[in-house]
Amino acid sequence: MGREIFDEIKDLITEKRNPATMGIDSKSTEEILTLINSEDQRIPEIVRSEIPYIASAVELVVATFKRGGRLFYVGAGTSGRLGVLDASECPPTFGTDPEMVQGMIAGGYGALVRAVEGAEDKREDGGKDLTEQGFTKDDILVGIAASRRTPYVIGAVEKARELGAMTIYLTTTPREEMNIPVDVAICPVVGPEVVMGSTRMKSGTAQKLILNMITTTAMIRLGKVYENMMVDLKMTSQKLKERSKRTVMIVTGADYDEAERVLKLAHGHVKTALVMILAGVDREEALRRLVKSGGFVRKAIEGG
C-alpha cells in the first residue's frame, strides 16, 4: 500500500520541485520573499483561465440555494480549513443562516487548529461525516483537494453522488488528470510550490480566491448585494451596526440620525431600510416589495 501511494504521489504536479526556487535555502530574507512573491503573482491569471468552469459551478450553487438546498465544502488540511473559513464568513457578510454554507474538514473541527495526522486517508469517513451532517440530494458538495487524490474528499464526493446530489471538485492538478466523476471540475494549475509539496502556498491561495468567487457571486445572484454593497447584514456587532448605517447613508443620502432612525423602524435590516427611503414606503410595503422582487433591492425600489 505504501509503495502504491508513493508511486501515485511522485507524479503529481503539486509534488514536483520548482526550478525557480532550487537555491532558496541560500538566499537572503529579501530574496526569499521576492521569490515567493514572484510565484504568487502568477496565480490570478491562472484562476482567470478557469472562470468558465467557476461560472458553471456558481450556476449549480445558485440553483441549489433557490430550491432551499445547502452548500457543503469538504477538504483536509489547508483545503479543509479554507472551506470552513469561507463557510464561516457567509453569515456575517451576507446575513445567511449558518446552515446554508457549511465546511467539513477531515479529523473534525479540532483539525482546524492542530493537524490530525492520517485523517485525510480515511475514505470511508468522508461519506460517514457527510451523512451525519444530514446531507441530501437537494444539497451540493464542493470537494477541495490540491492533489485531487485525498481519500477523505473522494469518499464524500462518492457519497454525494450516490445520494443523487450535484458535485464540484476544486483541485490544482491538470484537468486531464482529473479522474473523479463530478459535475464540474475547477483546475487552476499553479505549478510546483516554492517549497516542494507545501500546498498551503500557491495552491491554497488559488483555492481561497476561487472559494471567494463562488460564494460572493452566488450571493450577488441571490440579491444580497445592492450596487456593490452588502445589504443583507445582520447588526450583530457594533462594527456591523455602524457599517449598516453607513451603507444606508451612502446609498440614500440620508444623514447619520436619519439612517439610524429608519434602521430601527426596519428592525435593523438594511435592505428594508433602503427600500423604505428610496421608494418612500413604510416597513410593511418595503417587505412586500422585497418578497415580490425575490429579495433584490433594485427591483423592489423600481417595481412597486
Whether 117 maps to a domain, the answer reads: yes
- 255 and 122 in one domain? no
- 209 and 99 in one domain? yes
Active-site choice (15, 59, 89, 258): 89
Residue 120 falls in the annotated catalytic set: yes
- 190 and 132 in one domain? yes
Amino acid 222: pLDDT: 95
- 25 and 173 in one domain? yes
Whether 173 maps to a domain, the answer reads: yes
The predicted model scores a pTM of: 0.90
Whether 27 maps to a domain, the answer reads: yes
Rounded Cα distance, 92 and 94, in Å: 6
Rounded Cα distance, 58 and 216, in Å: 9
- 253 and 126 in one domain? no
Sequence-ordered list of residues with C-beta below 8 angstroms from that of 280, at least 6 positions apart, any chain: none
From 199, 221, 243, give the residue that closes a domain. 221
- 36 and 117 in one domain? yes
Residue 89 falls in the annotated catalytic set: yes
- 289 and 253 in one domain? yes
CATH number at residue 87: 3.40.50.10490
Whether 246 maps to a domain, the answer reads: yes
From 202, 221, 240, give the residue that closes a domain. 221
Active-site choice (39, 50, 120, 158): 120
Whether 58 maps to a domain, the answer reads: yes
Amino acid 61: pLDDT: 98
CATH number at residue 276: 1.10.8.1080
Amino acid 230: pLDDT: 87
Number of domains in the chain: 2
- 98 and 79 in one domain? yes
Whether 2 maps to a domain, the answer reads: no
Amino acid 10: pLDDT: 64
Amino acid 236: pLDDT: 75
For the chain, 304 residues long, give each residue's pLDDT as a single digit of tens. Answer: 556 665 566 667 787 889 989 999 999 999 999 999 999 999 999 999 999 999 999 999 999 999 999 999 999 999 999 999 999 999 988 989 999 999 999 998 888 888 787 778 788 899 999 999 999 999 999 999 998 889 999 999 999 999 999 999 999 999 999 999 999 999 999 999 999 988 999 999 999 999 999 999 999 999 999 999 989 877 778 888 899 999 999 999 999 999 999 999 999 999 999 999 999 999 999 999 999 999 999 999 997 5
- 229 and 289 in one domain? yes
Amino acid 15: pLDDT: 79
Task: HSE, CB side, 13 Å, CA atoms: give it for residue 60.
Answer: 23
- 243 and 207 in one domain? no
- 237 and 202 in one domain? no
Amino acid 2: pLDDT: 58
- 230 and 199 in one domain? no
Spacing of C-alpha 248 from chain mean position: 27
From 157, 186, 221, give the residue that closes a domain. 221
Q: What is the DSSP string of the chain?
A: -HHHHHHHHHT-GGGS--GGGTTGGGS-HHHHHHHHHHHHTTHHHHHHTTHHHHHHHHHHHHHHHHTT--EEEEESHHHHHHHHHHHHHHHHHH---TTTEEEEETT-GGGGTS--TTGGG-HHHHHHHHHHTT--TTSEEEEE-TTS--HHHHHHHHHHHHHT-EEEEE-SS-GGG--S--SEEE-----S-SSTT-TTTHHHHHHHHHHHHHHHHHHHHTT-EETTEE-S----SHHHHHHHHHHHHHHH---HHHHHHHHHHTTT-HHHHHHHHHHT--HHHHHHHHHHTTT-HHHHHHH-
Spacing of C-alpha 257 from chain mean position: 36
Whether 109 maps to a domain, the answer reads: yes
Whether 54 maps to a domain, the answer reads: yes
Residue-number span of the structural domain to which 123 is assigned: 9-221
